[in-house]
Structure 1
Amino acid sequence: MLDVPTPLVPYKKQYINLLSENDAYVYPADRYYSAGNRISYTSKEYNFWGAAYAHSWMAWSRYLTLMIHSPKMTRFNVSMTQTMYTPHLNSHTSEAIVVGDHLYAGWLRASLALFQRAPHALERILISLGTVGPNSMAGQTQNWLHGLWGDKTFQGWHNQLRDEFIFQFNYQWLYQVYILKTRFFSMDILPAVDIALGNAITHVRLGSLLRFGYNLDTDFGPNKIGSLFSGGQPFSNRFSFYFFIGASGSYQPIDIFIQGNSPQTRGITHLPDALYAVEGGFALLYRGFRLSFIATNLSKGFEEQPLSHNIGTVELDIAF
């Protein structure tokens, strides 16, 4: 029977995760990547390297990793995500496609993710299935929310991307390196790589996160939807509070939200050769619960875009 010793202890709490990204959190006008919302469930951690779960029907998951020789804790995650893209708010009254401005687009998808936590590394493998186009219901969602808030509504949603089935595969790897570790204050850096393959987005992203605060051995950082890296869920009951800054660079040859997917939407905007993102924020954790806020500056997503774009992220992790 498999029973590989490991310094890790499986964390037994499950999670409901609520995640919202919106440019309105840091900028007064909708534009470009306008909003993203996600609800997800994350299982407790399993030690499939230990005797208790070595013959579980889920034990196959211990082999789905590039860290094959390192004992690790395994988690499963299922989520539903909707993201939406619009031109600048200045063009909200135009019923035609605005040449040189962002396309109208929505993306609705369901995802299954596998997290593998080693002593100083976190690996995520994710597969998502969904749709872009009217079936994503992004236009209806935005119009409903703007109606509730009394905001201006965009008039060009009938010109959005056409309906198209979307398959995405993502692989992400984070590694923790301590710069300073004391009882009351610590600093670490988390270099990371993210690879996305799919007919919506294909990219290679490299970057890192610098954290400083109290008790950094509680997670690998907050989660994001449309930028940088995701650190999964906490794995400790201890109190933790930290600030962080991060940066990444990406080569992204495919982005359906910029390149379009129909004769009507192709050639309106064009992808830059490279993309960057920088972020800053804080996280507060206690007994597995986590609240975080992130402000992110995204480089020009398309060549015709006049300025970079800012978006805010709010995350609440509910442990039970």
Structure 2
Amino acid sequence: MALLTISSGAAFADNDVDEVCTSKPGVRALKKYPDVYNFYYENDLFAGTDNNYTSGAKFSWVSANLEDYIHDPCLPKWVRQLNRISEMVQPGVFDTRNMVVSFGQEIYTPTDKYRSDLIVNDRPYAGWLYLGLAYNARNDKDMEVTEIDIGMVGPASLAKQSQDFIHRIRGIDRFQGWSNQLNNELGIQFVKERKTKIFNYSRPNGPKIDAITHYGYSLGNVKTYLNTGMEVRIGTYLPNDFGTSPIRPASDSNAPLPMNVSHRLADGGIHAFVSVDARAVARNIFLDGNTFSDSHSVSKRYFVGDVAAGIAWQWVGGKITYAQYLRSKEFRGQVKPQSYGSITLSLEY
């Protein structure tokens, strides 16, 4: 299904949608509305460091609206049959729905890049290369996200090669201890998250303010946790979505379009935001080590939090966001909390 959605391209139906979908079902005829393409890049070099969660990159494709996953004539019949599982994982009545397909990589390293031996009191070398498929469903004030990520941890994640390539281009010394990274392991992560707009203030020619809460959980051998948090935004224009999008499961804020709206990025403006996210962590493979084989591990902290502040500028057809994140200590022996920067570019086409 992920391959099917990725291959949809940017072809849209010019004729009546129902007629097109009835005569020629397929993802290419989802809607005559444009899709959104998101490009994410995160790195702790923005904070002048090079360790812990040191780099992340993700590309995501956000589909146009689906009427639903089960009966939408724009989806092939076999896809609609597969999607019947969504009735179990995402019950409820929602106004609009869409899908998100993502591909990403994350890189984790200890602090000392020059040691080639195993650093027993620092976090393991690790990488995570994954493909994700998410369903978004929204009403005016609520959005529910169901996502599954499947990928590889270990040498198959190509984390070493990716980091070496970037460091070589930038003339930065390479890390010498990648021979101690986690072993290859198939990773699966199932995530549910619900977001709610609890406050919305707007006056003509005045500032716009809103507040969005979120809570959810993740299950899998990669990460298992409960999380909750909130974001507050203020600016000349606030997108009709559900907040900022860092690289984490269920974070894509490009929600399904509201009813009778044809474009996500149809207006321009600027806004600032602050956000918090708190997690109770039962498992984190990047600290606990491999699930089915012996590997390096450290003693993780069971409660972790993120605080972020940033700014977003939106124009007709695009949006760029920058945020600086501060993450609390994740394991025993970690010297200090971590900071990293995040850039997101969204294009509507």
TM-score of the superposed pair, with normalisation by structure 2: 0.81
Q: 2:57 aligns with which of 28, 34, 37?
A: 37
**C-alpha separation in 2, matches of 1:156 and 1:16:** 35
Q: 1:87 aligns with which of 110, 115, 122?
A: 110
2:310 aligned with 1:281, yes or no?
Answer: yes
Match of 1:13 in 2: 34
2:166 aligned with 1:145, yes or no?
Answer: yes
Match of 1:22 in 2: 43
**C-alpha separation in 1, matches of 2:157 and 2:90:** 33
User: Aligned with 1:146: secondary structure?
Assistant: helix
Match of 2:294 in 1: 263
Give the superposition deviation at 1:237.
0.9
**C-alpha separation in 2, matches of 1:52 and 1:264:** 46
- Work out whether residues 228 and 247 of structure 1, in 8 Å CA contact, stay in contact via their aligned partners in 2: no
- Work out whether residues 46 and 53 of structure 1, in 8 Å CA contact, stay in contact via their aligned partners in 2: no
**C-alpha separation in 2, matches of 1:213 and 1:67:** 34
- Work out whether residues 323 and 342 of structure 2, in 8 Å CA contact, stay in contact via their aligned partners in 1: yes
Match of 1:198 in 2: 220
User: Aligned with 2:162: secondary structure?
Assistant: helix
Change (3 A) 1:181 1:254: same
Structure-to-structure mapping, 1:35-184, within 5 angstroms? 35-48=55-68, 53=73, 57=77, 63=87, 66=90, 68-69=92-93, 71-88=94-111, 91-183=112-204, 184=206
2:277 aligned with 1:220, yes or no?
Answer: no
Match of 1:4 in 2: none
**C-alpha separation in 1, matches of 2:237 and 2:225:** 33
Change (3 A) 1:45 1:76: same
Match of 2:211 in 1: 189
2:258 aligned with 1:244, yes or no?
Answer: no
Give the superposition deviation at 1:65.
6.0
User: Aligned with 2:238: secondary structure?
Assistant: coil
**C-alpha separation in 1, matches of 2:310 and 2:343:** 10
The unaligned stretches of length 5 or more in structure 1 are 1-9
- Work out whether residues 92 and 155 of structure 1, in 8 Å CA contact, stay in contact via their aligned partners in 2: yes
- Work out whether residues 65 and 116 of structure 1, in 8 Å CA contact, stay in contact via their aligned partners in 2: no
**C-alpha separation in 2, matches of 1:213 and 1:64:** 38
**C-alpha separation in 1, matches of 2:75 and 2:250:** 36
Change (3 A) 1:84 1:286: same
Alignment: residue pair count: 306
Change (3 A) 1:167 1:55: closer
Change (3 A) 1:108 1:207: same
Structure that is richer in helix per residue: 2
Residue identity over aligned pairs, in percent, reads 25
**C-alpha separation in 2, matches of 1:215 and 1:177:** 18
Match of 2:25 in 1: none
- Work out whether residues 193 and 250 of structure 2, in 8 Å CA contact, stay in contact via their aligned partners in 1: no
Change (3 A) 1:228 1:16: closer
Give the superposition deviation at 1:288.
3.9
**C-alpha separation in 1, matches of 2:331 and 2:52:** 10
**C-alpha separation in 2, matches of 1:112 and 1:22:** 24
The residue identity in structure 1 corresponding to 2:240 is: T
**C-alpha separation in 2, matches of 1:52 and 1:113:** 17
The residue identity in structure 2 corresponding to 1:37 is: A
Give the superposition deviation at 1:79.
1.2
The residue identity in structure 2 corresponding to 1:81 is: G
- Work out whether residues 239 and 285 of structure 1, in 8 Å CA contact, stay in contact via their aligned partners in 2: yes
**C-alpha separation in 1, matches of 2:139 and 2:37:** 23
**C-alpha separation in 1, matches of 2:164 and 2:61:** 27
- Work out whether residues 221 and 283 of structure 2, in 8 Å CA contact, stay in contact via their aligned partners in 1: yes
The unaligned stretches of length 5 or more in structure 2 are 1-30, 258-263
Which stretch has the larger CA shift, 132-141 or 98-107?
Answer: 98-107
User: Aligned with 2:138: secondary structure?
Assistant: strand
Q: 1:302 aligns with which of 331, 345, 348?
A: 331
User: Aligned with 1:176: secondary structure?
Assistant: strand
**C-alpha separation in 2, matches of 1:194 and 1:151:** 38
